[in-house]
Chain A
Amino acid sequence: MIPLSWYLMLAAGLFSVGLFGVLARKNAVAILMGVELMLNAVNVNLVAFWRYRTPEVIAGQAFAIIVFAVAAAEVAVGLALIISIYRRRNTVVADEIDMLKL
């Protein structure tokens, strides 16, 4: 059986890719995609820990499902915002969305 640490390393790698995407990309859509990657890395962790440590209770799976739901909601709101901004400003570059600055 594949040991737990492999899964954890996969999750850490996935998380780092997501984090890099969030920090390095300027496109707001790409940033959102990075966030999704980070969330799914967490999901891998959750499911892996559940399977190896407490397979008798269902909490790990339930948590993962809740994270899916939250991520879906977040994406829905985030994309809607981005589309709205794009319509008004004709850009999705995060640095240019600076209406709150003086």
Chain B
Amino acid sequence: MATETIIWLIPLPPLLAFFLIVLFTNRSKWLSHTVAIGAALLSWLGSMIVFFRALAVEHFGEHIFASSIPWLATGETQFRIGVQIDPLSAATLFFVAWTVLMIFLYSVGYHNFGQPKGDHDRPGLQPHGATVSDAHGHTHTVPSIEPMYSRFFAFIGLFAFGMYTLVVSDNLLTLFVGWEIMGLCSYLLIGFWYAKPTARAAMIKAFITTRVGDMFMLLGLAYLYSQTGTLNYREIFYNQEVLNHLAETPSVIVGLSTAGLIGILLFFGTIGKSAQWPLHVWLPDAMEGPTPVSAMIHAATMVSAGVYFAIRIFPLVSAGSEHGMTSVMSVMAFIGAFTALFAATIALAQNDIKRVLAYSTISQLGYMIAALGIGAYVAAAFHLITHAFFKALLFLGSGSVIHGMEHGVLHTGSHIDPQDMFNMGGLRKKMPVTFWTFLIGGFALSGFPLVTAGFWSKDEILADAWGHGHFLVFATLALAALLTAFYTMRQITLTFFGEPRTEAAHHAQETPWTMTLPLAILAVFSVAAGWVGVPEHFPGLGGLLPNWFHGFVGGTLLEHPEAVAFNAVPLLTSLVVALGGLYLGWLVYRGTTAGAQDPIQKAVPGLHRVLKNKYYFDELYDRIFVQPAYWLAESFTSAWMDRGVIDGFLHWVAMVSGIIGNALRNYIDKPVINGIIGDGTANVVRKFGFTLRGIQTGRIQQYMIGALVTLIFFSALFYYLIFIP
């Protein structure tokens, strides 16, 4: 099959699966997950074919796969939509296909396929466990199957469709369509257990927060279209003329070029989608969803889409950057670096295993944005891909841990939070596969030197920051990396090392193969994905493998970016922060016993409280945005506008109609219509009837005399008329 045809087909199977499950197979759980996984497998297959065909093309950046159709006539021109795979989207497609497939497979185990139905499970709530009795007559409580199993697979199918659409699209409009489909699915999936009030609140929060960013993004798209008349990637980002034109035209805002203003507006979309400060608040709450969803949203797809988009628009953002950083790049560097550090500090004080990962995701996304801000295009893309693998692994691993803990909780019948890390401990013996894979993911996240993927991508960002002289960004990111290593080790130590701190942790159990197999596969990528981007001048290892990634993805840009020269300072820094952070984390948390306070809390209780409450951002936003919005709604919209103006007008209209209606009734309807036409006709007919009644005697002879008289009369008349004159 032609490569372009395959690209067109890649997003379709998950969409088809969505409709199949919703319309036909939702009664059968087995059929539903088979359909969904089959669709994911087809998309994966298509993606792999396209990816490896792309690898075979020399100078792929100049000879990309593209195909488009005219979609909308806009005056004399045509708006074309289509598909395109260039080096950046090929690399993205690779990791999206793998993570999506792994997550689909993992969901089967996570939602307890094959387990009995729960005793009191209801749709909209987490499964609560089922009671079974074994051969000896003992009763046990075991995990029960998710009541809305099919619905889950339908939703993630649609979600995968959105992501594939976004990756293969060749213009910003279809990218936006995929983007919004994912927004919808994230809303549906975060609120998957919709009977939980917290899940409902989280779904609304996520949707509305990202909507803020999306609105600016749409404005940016409209502005870009009005300036260039196209939204195609190639025609804008691979076209020096258009870029120069945009960079040189001043925009409506003084001091900002058109490219700058559009860049900032578009970047707002990334801020919302990738949960950057100040729109980061939705992502931690999104942990209300089932864990595969968290992995889907926070690793494989949605947040990656935000960064993918930012990388995509990088040529626009950096247009005119020959004289240093553009203003948008400065904004990106600031927001990214700030978010990286800011989220990492919050992660230090979270006890929920998934929330730590949520904040670490925000922090890592900040890394990528900061890398883009300082112009490290390839490094950002590299970190995006490695991060997708190890973060998906970590989320799925944490889901596995929670699943194991839930088993323990059900088994012992205790009432503890299975997600709180202080309730865990010692799980490495209970869940060996989860432990080892989680360890690999955690080390990749921390940037454990040489073997993990995270090290290479993070090191490249730091090297770029150092090499281009952005020392402030470098210092911030290095500090964030130290904190990352620290909280990752804190998580690993609390979860897996030491002795079990609760009865439930003691009875935790390894999860089924559908969950551990994805973990193992992702673990392989968490290590191996880094090897494709080893810097050429790296001591010892450099040159053993060519820095393939740099050459490949760099080809997406018009001017291929130069690889930064090797410098020992960033390398040493990343070694020190990674190992130091890991060691510190282990040191501080290794001896945690049951019921013990968090050592940070003991040392600096005030700071811990601030961090635990996420710098009070939720409260702040509540005060700044939510309360005024309520106030406005109540006093202005409801009391004044709705009840005063609109209702007043409506009442006035009703009153006037009433007057007109009364007049019509009293002066037209009653006298004319009723009196003359209605009753009048009836009265006349009645009177005639009374009058003529006397004739009808019923005596036949009278009738006959009548007939005879009439006959004689008319005969006489005719005689008179005809013969007399």
Contacts and interface: CB of A to CB of B under 8 A. Distances in A.
Interface in B670-708: 696, 698-701, 704-705, 708
B698 A98 contact: yes
A31 B704 CA distance: 11
15 contacts: A19-B708, A22-B701, A22-B704, A23-B701, A23-B704, A23-B705, A23-B708, A24-B701, A26-B701, A94-B699, A94-B700, A94-B701, A95-B701, A101-B696, A101-B698
Contacts of B700: 31, 94-95
A57 interface: no
A2 interface: no
B704 A100 contact: no
A26 B704 CA distance: 13
Contacts of A101: 696, 698
A95 B704 contact: no
Interface string A19-31: 1001110100001
Interface residues of A, number: 11
A74 to B, nearest CB: 16
B620 to A, nearest CB: 93
Nearest to A24: B701
Given A22-B704, A23-B705, A100-B698, 10 more contacts: A22-B701, A23-B701, A23-B708, A26-B701, A31-B700, A94-B700, A94-B701, A95-B701, A98-B698, A101-B696
A78 to B, nearest CB: 13
Interface of B: 696, 698-701, 704-705, 708
Contacts, number: 21
Interface in A63-102: 94-95, 98, 100-101
- Most chain A CB inside 10 Å of its own CB: which residue of B696, B698, B705, B708: B698
Interface in A13-48: 19, 22-24, 26, 31
A100 B699 CA distance: 11
A29 to B, nearest CB: 14
A100 B704 CA distance: 17
Contacts of B705: 23
Contacts of B698: 95, 98, 100-101
A95 B701 CA distance: 8
Contacts of A23: 701, 704-705, 708
A24 B708 CA distance: 13
A98 B704 CA distance: 16
B715 to A, nearest CB: 14
A55 B660 CA distance: 86
Nearest to B701: A23
A101 B695 CA distance: 12
The 8 tightest CB contacts between A and B, nearest first, are A101-B698, A98-B698, A94-B700, A23-B701, A95-B699, A23-B704, A23-B705, A22-B704
B696 to A, nearest CB: 8
A50 to B, nearest CB: 25
B699 to A, nearest CB: 5
